[in-house]
Structure 1
Amino acid sequence: MQDNILLKSNNTKLGATPMDGHVNFTLSDRLRKSPYYEATLKAGAKTFTLYNHMIMPTSYEGAEADYWNLINNVTMWDVAAERQVEIIGGDAYKFVEYITSRDLSKLQIGQGKYALITDENGGIINDPIILKLAENHFWLSIADSDVLLWTRGLVCGLGWDVQISEPDVSPLAIQGPNHLPLMIDLFGDWVKDIKYFFFKEVELEGIPLIVQKSGWSKQGGFELYLRDGSKGQKLWDIVATAGKKYDIKPGTPNNIERVESGLFSWGNDMDINSNPLELPLANFCQLDKEADYLSRNALHRIRSEGITKKLVGLVVEGDAFIGGCASPWQVKSGNKICGKVTSAAYSPRLKINMAMATLDKGFNDIDSEVEVETPWGKRLGKVSPIPFN
């Protein structure tokens, strides 16, 4: 039996017809359900997206209400679509160093690092968290692209002693400023001392987990990497029950909060046609690291020649944006196209329209003014630092 589910772009309204942006998708094994799927429906998930060939909730009470729940309280997210690529074997460490310009030489067992995975041209394949579980055992906790296939093809060509697979691992995130008392109730006082991106292997009422201090928000929190998909409903119920005293709400990665916080989205703000030097992520790239890596020659060449475009923030005038940026908006200076907006949102806290844009050289200096072609007409935009505050 197949289910139908409604997925919508983030600038359409519930109840709209397919002409307005709604599409009914028929679920099958090609569009996988998360171990928390039934729980999210019962919790009131209203909209979903496709992510790593899975369906993932994108809102419960609506973007702004979900934003305030995250900003003010504590929320729990089904992010099982944040899949893991497992890398093991005698050459596993050599391989993870090879696919990124991030220096992993000091990565400890029980630690993760944010790293851009880049190809032979310097293009960004993905921007995962790399977790080190043992000396030659790693996970790539990935964004939305086919990293499993790319890494398997690459290691096949290299002929190294590396085995790559997708394990039965499905993260559940706990995010928000009030996350810590809930985490202490669930796991004990040791969670207070865990450093960012570090993790610990534990069990919770017989459920095997990895608990990592991380998550796709700047509000603070943890991710619980469920290692047995059959226990998804049980884990959801345990967290939801323990969270009642803290008025926990179901939530999702929130577009308003992540734009406000300057968190970049692969597939929107960067992709295989971008390179790390175009993004304000210099701290996560060590182009001269000792270990060999695939994009060394390309990134050194780009550094020598200089970048031609850069990802920046924009503050855009006019009425509040309704929804986000479902497809890129052109950016012009005079009659010249000088870039594109890749993400956008109205901040109800800052009372501004925010955007992330890739702008050509000569147009991306702070306080430069450009013209943005929004769905609501042309508007003036001013280049701003990221994050917004």
Structure 2
Amino acid sequence: MEQLKKTPLIDSYEKYGGKIIDFAGWALPVQYEGIIQEHEAVRTKAGLFDVSHMGEVEVIGEDAFSFVQNLVTNDVKALVDNQVLYTPVCYPDGGIVDDILVYRFNEKHFFLVINAGNIEKDFQWMVENKGKFNVELNNISPSVVQLAIQGPKAEEILQKLVDTSLQEIKFFFCKRNVSIEGIKCLVSRTGYTGEDGFEIYTSSEKAVSLWDKILETGKEDGLKPAGLGCRDTLRFEVNLPLYGNELLDTITPLEAGLDFFVRLDKENFIGKDALVKQKEEGLKRKIVGFEMKDRGIPRHGYEVFVGDKKIGQVTTGYLSPSLKKNIGLALIDYDYSNLGTTIFIKVRNKLSEAVVVSKKFYKKNYNK
């Protein structure tokens, strides 16, 4: 663990009983009390995550809007100041570089949030595609801490600590310079769990104080520290994709089911030509949801069959803590992607029956 990257909260993990693992080169807690307990806390009350391993890049300059618009598949033109946008970033062949959040502070100042395992790769990709755009790119990841408070009681708990009305921050909007017990923060109504909640950004030196204050304040309302384990089960139940599972440089956003976030009618962006061509020719494969009919828990990488023909593989699979069902997502041949299609998952060298179902396993509970 010595060679792993660490967030400023590394000592707090042990204090709160965190079990540390290697995640994308970072020493992070997979759980504290337990994955199921933390999952249920977020679904019914609230959980607090340290997601400071995520990356942050500032884009500043006369051409900030144009640069970001060319970089991403979604339409940044739709944003007003202090609004947030989810979007894939693609290579010229349509493969996914990453999926990111775009914060617009104003037309000349954007804030991009990127996945931890992709920080260096993403930043290099931005630098390589800076071209003639008059922008300054700053990788500020080491100096930024990010906490996420998620769950139906998230607003009630955080409101006790802030100097502004959190109800005024609408879904996928943010507010800058919010004071949380004297600590200046950027607060956005975003998250990765399917529940209402907030993501909080501040400077690294304030991390421990902020973490402790929020947990202490929320204790009586059932707030628990939460680890990566339940972060994965929570996001999966509401069909939020994970880079490295549903998203890869060999998978396009159309194959991943992210059509809504790909604006093929906007001006040119990196990967547009390849995606237009794929749309016109039709998909050859697609990410689908499935539910196991036989016993066995599907896992990432398990092969999917129809008869003796391999048609794909599982990208994510779990015993869903909320639904108490064995469910999964899989990238499979398009011909077998219709709802109700019987498929078979190879679980421990045995083919187990499953059926293709909607990817909307669990109803999102956002405050919009």
Structure 2 length-normalised TM: 0.92
1:309 counterpart = 2:281: no
Give distance in 2, aligned partners of 1:210 and 1:315. Answer: 39
Deviations 1:278-323 (A, max 9, x none): 122222121111x3211121111111111110001010133463xx
- Is 2:327 the counterpart of 1:354? yes
Deviation digits for residues 71-102 of structure 1 (CA, Å, limit 9, x no counterpart): 12111000001111221122211111011121
**Cα distance in 2 between the residues matched to 1:245 and 1:382:** 42
2 CA distance for matches of 1:261 and 1:196? 16
Structure 1 gaps, min length 5:
1-24
Q: Indicate if the aligned counterparts of 2:64 and 2:135 stay in contact, CA closer than 8 A.
A: yes
Per the alignment, residue 58 of structure 1 pairs with: 30
1:272 counterpart = 2:245: no
1:256 aligns with 2:233: yes
Alignment of 1:200-349 (within 5 A): 200-201=175-176, 202-226=178-202, 228-253=203-228, 254=230, 255-289=232-266, 291-319=267-295, 321=297, 325=299, 327-349=300-322
Contact 2:39 2:321 in 1 (8 A): no
Tell me if structure 1 keeps the 8 A contact 2:158–2:214: no
> Conserved in 2, the CA contact under 8 Å of 1:47 and 1:60?
no
1:103 and 1:296 mapped to 2: Cα distance? 12
Query: CA–CA distance in 1 between the matches of 2:327 and 2:166?
Result: 34
Which has the higher mean CA deviation after the structures are superposed, 297-306 or 38-47?
38-47
In structure 2, the residue matched to 1:10 is: none
With 300-309 and 197-206 compared, the bigger mean Cα shift is at 197-206
Deviations 1:150-187 (A, max 9, x none): 212222xx232222222122210001111121121122
CA contact (8 A) 2:162 2:179 kept: no
Aligned-partner Cα distance in 1 for 2:19–2:294? 29
State the alpha-carbon separation in 1 of the partners of residues 355 and 15 from structure 2. 43
Tell me which of 108, 113, 129 is aligned to 1:154.
129
Which amino acid counterpart does residue 142 of structure 1 have in structure 2?
I
Q: 1:377 Cα deviation (Å)?
A: 3.1
Amino acid at match of 1:70: V
CA distance in 2, matches of 1:160, 1:373: 49
C-alpha RMSD of the superposition: 1.7
Contact 1:82 1:141 in 2 (8 A): yes
Determine the C-alpha separation between the residues in 2 that align with 1:198 and 1:333.
44
1:189–1:161 CA distance, 2 compared to 1 (3 A): closer
Any gaps of 5 or more consecutive residues in structure 2?
Answer: 363-368
Question: How many residues of Structure 1 are paired with residues of Structure 2 in the alignment?
Answer: 354
**Higher mean C-alpha displacement, 345-354 vs 300-309:** 345-354
Task: Please give the TM-score of this superposition, normalised by the length of structure 1.
Answer: 0.87
Letter in 2 for 1:258: R
Q: 1:48 to 1:247 in 2, by over 3 A?
A: same
2:170 aligned residue: 195
**1:372 matched residue in structure 2:** 345
1:189 is displaced (CA, Å) by 5.8
2:79 and 2:343 map into 1 onto residues whose CA distance is 42
What's the CA shift for 1:128?
0.7
Of 117, 126, 140, the match for 2:89: 117
Matched, 1:142 2:119: no
Residue of structure 1 in register with 2:365 after alignment: none
